[in-house]
Structure 1
């Protein structure tokens, strides 16, 4: 019997202008679910430009622009739209991330599975932000989003966490969770490798000699941008020709360090060798990875880490942090180097080891590339479907 899935998200590759890890993950996953016979309807809430067009694997696509709406109103609007979409269809499965509580207003008994990726409370904890750190006018929206996300999780028939670390931390945040399964994220391995082979470097890429260290992630503390900058200050002393390139959208200047503040952490003589690319879209991102000598993803805590899997697919030496979602698929000294989070000295030492021992680094990268097939969309879709079926049976929900 064909199952009908309703999926909603705030970003989706090929539809929204900004696409982070979850947007690329869903953009690869949903066509794979459709290839298994699922009928997928997708609601995309966009805070900026979006293109409502024919999308592979999607039966019906609904795009809702929320830019310009007050944040409180937008939070409620999204939840209402998802509830209306559910009531108008006959869906066997509703699959939603917890971000923004999109499923918080679904009726009791809905076949809701929440994909635990990163809620606002978790993101703020990792960033070291308290409610008092937000401007007074924005605090009601922060509280509402926390409330909607908690309501959605607790009312779910089951939850799918993207890593063991995410499952454990979510339980600390919300207490006892509904029935839970862990299913990894996916990437479009074949498409990424094709893009990397073309090696189209993004606009602004430095055209000079010397090794390039690429930082992947939003320019936010939780992604380790401060630690990455501080590590490069040490790296530059040993490799005077090395350059640091940062690829990722900027953070909120109210809470995150500006580019000027980040540069001030680097010795003046080395500042000209730091390049900020900002958000790098589509295939240019994989061209950037392929053009780097080493990539670092030094998150202070990571739910999963799609960017690291993408680096593995391209076959470039990788440095990540330990103690979070990277632990599910990274082995120190085997397919990458792992260092403790919030430790610029250890991060610099790992990058220097990579640059000083290119043969060893290449061997790790090759082992990583050889094992990345399990993150392709098809096997992940098979595992996700089986996990969701188990959760639904356990909750007594029939398709």
Structure 2
């Protein structure tokens, strides 16, 4: 019999204007699930504009626009709307990330599997933010989101975490959980490779008058943007023609560093060699990766790190941090360089090592590119279906 899946998310490549790692993952994963016999209804909640012209593999797409809603109202609207969607039909599987607690109000007997990707408590913990650090007006919404996410996790029939680090961190945050399985994220390996080989870098890309270090990620402390800028400040003294490009949406400037504040951390003589691209969508991102001499993803902690797999598929030299989700698929030396998180000196040394020995860097990149097929949608979808079957067939036990 055909499995009926209900999936909900706040971002989805090809539908929402902003798409991070989870949005690209789901847009690659769901068509692969459909190809393996799943019938999928997708509910997308978004504050921005949408494009609903092409959603391959999706039987029914429902978009809820929450732009203009007060934040508290939107937080309550999303799980209520998903509950209505669930009750209006019959589903064998419900797959929902924990972000925003979209599944918090589903009935207790719903076949809910929470896909642990990141939650508000984890995001603030990594950033070093406490509730009292946030504007007073935003605190009620943060508390509500935290409670919705915790409720969803604890009421789930099973958990699928995107990495072993994510499963361990979730246990420390929420304590007792249903049975947990770990299944890696996927990327459209073929599409990334093609775009990296054929697409030009985005507008604003620097000229070819020096090596380029590319920072990929939101301009937030938890993504290591301060560490990346501080590392470049050191590299710029060793490589006077080196350039830094930052590709990623900006963070909340109430408690994340502004572009001006980041530039202040770079020696004045090197500031004109720093380029901020902002959010880069579509295939232009992979054109940027292919054009860079080294790509860094210096997150202070990462649940998985889709972008690092994309860098590997594109064949670019990679530097990442250790001690989180990158550990599941990165090996220091053979396929990338790994440094401790929040360690600008070590990050600078790794970047300089790539620029000093581009031959060795290219060999690591080639080794990494040869191993990314296991992150293609089809094998990940098969592993996910098997994991979901396992967690739904067993009673809740301590994680």
Q: Report 1:35-74 matches (<5 A).
A: 35-74=35-74
TM-score when scaled to structure 1?
0.98
CA distance in 2, matches of 1:259, 1:9: 30
TM-superposed CA distance for 1:27, in Å, is: 0.4
Instruction: Check conservation: 1:96, 1:103, Cα contact below 8 A.
Output: yes
After superposition, give the CA deviation of every residue in 1:299-338 in whole Å (9 maximum; x if it has no partner).
0000000000000000110000000000000000010000
TM-superposed CA distance for 1:203, in Å, is: 1.1
Size of the aligned set, in residue pairs, is 396
Corresponding residue of 2:121: 121
Corresponding residue of 1:260: 260
TM-superposed CA distance for 1:121, in Å, is: 0.2
Stretches (4+) displaced over 6 A: none
CA distance in 2, matches of 1:338, 1:207: 28
SS, match of residue 45 in structure 2: strand
Corresponding residue of 1:299: 299
CA distance in 2, matches of 1:250, 1:335: 29
SS, match of residue 59 in structure 1: strand
CA distance in 1, matches of 2:249, 2:354: 26
Corresponding residue of 1:355: 355
TM-superposed CA distance for 1:96, in Å, is: 0.1
CA distance in 2, matches of 1:57, 1:207: 40
TM-superposed CA distance for 1:177, in Å, is: 1.2
Corresponding residue of 2:192: 192
Corresponding residue of 1:245: 245
Q: Report 1:89-108 matches (<5 A).
A: 89-108=89-108
SS, match of residue 338 in structure 1: strand
TM-superposed CA distance for 1:51, in Å, is: 1.5
Instruction: Check conservation: 1:113, 1:156, Cα contact below 8 A.
Output: yes
TM-superposed CA distance for 1:277, in Å, is: 0.2
Verify: 1:17 aligned to 2:17, yes or no: yes
After superposition, give the CA deviation of every residue in 1:33-75 in whole Å (9 maximum; x if it has no partner).
0000100000011110111234100000011111110000000
Structure 2 residues not aligned, in runs of 5+: none
CA distance in 2, matches of 1:208, 1:133: 42
CA distance in 2, matches of 1:52, 1:143: 32
Corresponding residue of 2:177: 177
Instruction: Check conservation: 1:199, 1:291, Cα contact below 8 A.
Output: no
CA distance in 2, matches of 1:52, 1:194: 24
SS, match of residue 393 in structure 2: helix
Q: Report 1:129-278 matches (<5 A).
A: 129-278=129-278
TM-superposed CA distance for 1:138, in Å, is: 0.9
Corresponding residue of 2:367: 367
CA distance in 1, matches of 2:311, 2:53: 29
CA distance in 2, matches of 1:35, 1:339: 39
Instruction: Check conservation: 1:186, 1:376, Cα contact below 8 A.
Output: yes
CA distance in 2, matches of 1:28, 1:225: 27
Instruction: Check conservation: 2:14, 2:54, Cα contact below 8 A.
Output: no
SS, match of residue 394 in structure 1: coil
TM-superposed CA distance for 1:199, in Å, is: 2.8
CA distance in 2, matches of 1:95, 1:199: 34
TM-superposed CA distance for 1:161, in Å, is: 0.3
After superposition, give the CA deviation of every residue in 1:326-351 in whole Å (9 maximum; x if it has no partner).
00000000100000000000000001
Q: Which moved more, 1:91-100 or 1:386-395?
A: 386-395
Instruction: Check conservation: 2:6, 2:94, Cα contact below 8 A.
Output: yes
CA distance in 2, matches of 1:115, 1:67: 25
Root mean square deviation, CA, Å: 0.8
SS, match of residue 41 in structure 2: strand
TM-superposed CA distance for 1:395, in Å, is: 3.8
Corresponding residue of 1:377: 377
TM-score when scaled to structure 2?
0.98
TM-superposed CA distance for 1:287, in Å, is: 0.3
CA distance in 2, matches of 1:57, 1:149: 28
